Structure 1
Amino acid sequence: MYFSRISVNPTDPAKVMEVLKANDYALHQMLWKLFPDDPETSRDFLFRHDEDQRWPVFYLVSQREPDGSDELLRVASKPYRPQLRSGETLTFSLRANPVHTRKTDDANQKKRKRDDVVMHLKWQYRQSNADAVPALAELAQEAGEQWLVRQGERNGFRLLSVRADNYRQARLDTRRRNIRFSTLDFTGLLQVTEPDVFAETLCKGIGPAKAFGCGLMLVRRI
């Protein structure tokens, strides 16, 4: 595995503007071009789109080392082999697509629907005849924390503290279909409970919508 930091070469303002205006799907396609050796291979990388002093920057975890010959993108890569200990505490940052999965047809056990956890929690408050539905920021914190606690139970970590914010609903129009998904940004502290499982989680990601910049967890020792 490789961990890469990818920045944009500012010498071509027109191309930089294309990156700044691109949606998550277009960014995924742009980053996929960094792996030209086997164009038929399925996506085998996670990415996170961020900013550094208002300039776009991308973090990648990939099975293959990205090609650094692109004139627009500056690639800095290193081998990625997380060395973890049970019980150690790490800070983390995660952009995820948290969903609640439910059955839609009792006669077909394989049929499932994914619901935005924030909107699902809002619906639950309304169904319970609560006196007041919390504000969106409170719903995002409550629903996001509940979701990440469950993720930790099966992905080798225990959540110690978390802030869930920057709730966003996205809509992407691609050639094949219209895609809608939501994202939350998580920051906080976690404790490693199963080092091997968590190391795999750092490489494979958390939750759906990985092709649109979700699921890559960045961690750092305190």
Structure 2
Amino acid sequence: MKYLTQILINKRDALQHRLTDSYRWHQALWKAFPSPAGTPRSFLSRVDNYGQNYRVYLLSDRAPMMQPWGEWATREIASNFLEYTHYRFDLRANPTIKRIIRSESGERKKNGRRTAIYDPDQLNEWLQNKAQQHGFTILNVEVGAPVTQHFRRKNRQGKHICVDFRGTLQVQNQNHFKDAFQIGIGPAKAFGFGMLVLQPLG
């Protein structure tokens, strides 16, 4: 990812533009990256409450096309940004466990069911496992309380469990760590989860 964009929008204006849940945000932010149908998503996003506003972060491989709402500011990420060894991090994730589902004959089905994690110890274990997969270790972390986010998609209700992880990390494998920054961590990335917000230390 080469560009970081910050968007500020007043909550009243967001309501007028029907930015009322994660799926609405998902649809609105896609419009900033016009592409032929079927093109894979090329950005990560995150939406925060910010006083009377929403603050949106977009991490993308190309500069977004500014939309007719909010205040948009885009900058190119420094070429050496991912070359440090220690960072302060902020990760909003959708921690889940994939359960195995079997047919009546006992055969394992291809697609399992994701179950949300609520237990603090299991949340910490989930993060530690993700860190190991993505080439870094957690030095310290504060785990936020799980929050349920509801959304409506094609007249059907859905929900995600949202957990904020904040702390410091140490990079062990530069390539895997860069991949985590590029593609995000955990499921539901199209709905505003998985972006690794980083601040270099030292």
For Structure 1 versus Structure 2, the TM-score category normalised by the shorter chain is 0.7 to 0.9
Alignment-derived partner of residue 26 in structure 1: 24
Alignment-derived partner of residue 108 in structure 2: 108
Superposed structure 1 runs of 4+ greater than 6 Å apart: none
The separation in 1 between residues aligned to 2:151 and 2:20, in whole angstroms, is 11
Larger Rg: 1
1:76 partner amino acid:
A
What secondary structure does 1:148 align onto? helix
The separation in 2 between residues aligned to 1:205 and 1:21, in whole angstroms, is 23
Alignment-derived partner of residue 3 in structure 1: 4
Q: Unpaired runs of 5+ in structure 2? A: none
Change over 3 Å in CA distance of 1:14–1:146 after alignment to 2: closer
Question: Which of these residues, 147, 152, 158, is aligned with residue 179 of structure 1?
Answer: 158
Superposition TM-score, scaled by structure 1 size: 0.79
Instruction: Check conservation: 2:19, 2:25, Cα contact below 8 A.
Output: no
Alignment-derived partner of residue 134 in structure 1: none
Alignment-derived partner of residue 44 in structure 2: 46
Change over 3 Å in CA distance of 1:44–1:21 after alignment to 2: closer
- 1:124-135 equivalences in 2 (<5 Å): none
Alignment-derived partner of residue 211 in structure 1: 190
Change over 3 Å in CA distance of 1:219–1:42 after alignment to 2: same
Q: Which moved more, 1:171-180 or 1:208-217?
A: 171-180
The separation in 2 between residues aligned to 1:154 and 1:60, in whole angstroms, is 24
Residues 158-180 of structure 1 deviation map (CA, whole Å, 9 limit, x = unaligned)? 01111111311223221164322
Q: Please, what is the CA RMSD of the aligned residues?
A: 2.1
- 1:53-92 equivalences in 2 (<5 Å): 53-68=51-66, 70-80=67-77, 81=79, 82-85=81-84, 88-92=85-89
Cα offset, 1:14, TM superposition: 5.3
| Identity rate, percent | 29
What secondary structure does 1:22 align onto? coil
Higher helix fraction (1 or 2): 1
Alignment-derived partner of residue 171 in structure 2: 192
Instruction: Check conservation: 1:66, 1:75, Cα contact below 8 A.
Output: no
Change over 3 Å in CA distance of 1:36–1:21 after alignment to 2: closer
Q: Unpaired runs of 5+ in structure 1? A: 119-138
Alignment-derived partner of residue 126 in structure 1: none
Superposition TM-score, scaled by structure 2 size: 0.86
Cα offset, 1:109, TM superposition: 5.3
The separation in 1 between residues aligned to 2:127 and 2:17, in whole angstroms, is 30
The separation in 2 between residues aligned to 1:220 and 1:83, in whole angstroms, is 10
The separation in 1 between residues aligned to 2:71 and 2:36, in whole angstroms, is 21
Instruction: Check conservation: 2:14, 2:20, Cα contact below 8 A.
Output: no
Change over 3 Å in CA distance of 1:32–1:7 after alignment to 2: same
Residues 77-98 of structure 1 deviation map (CA, whole Å, 9 limit, x = unaligned)? 122354324xx22111011000
The separation in 1 between residues aligned to 2:42 and 2:14, in whole angstroms, is 25
Residues 199-221 of structure 1 deviation map (CA, whole Å, 9 limit, x = unaligned)? 11111000011111110010112
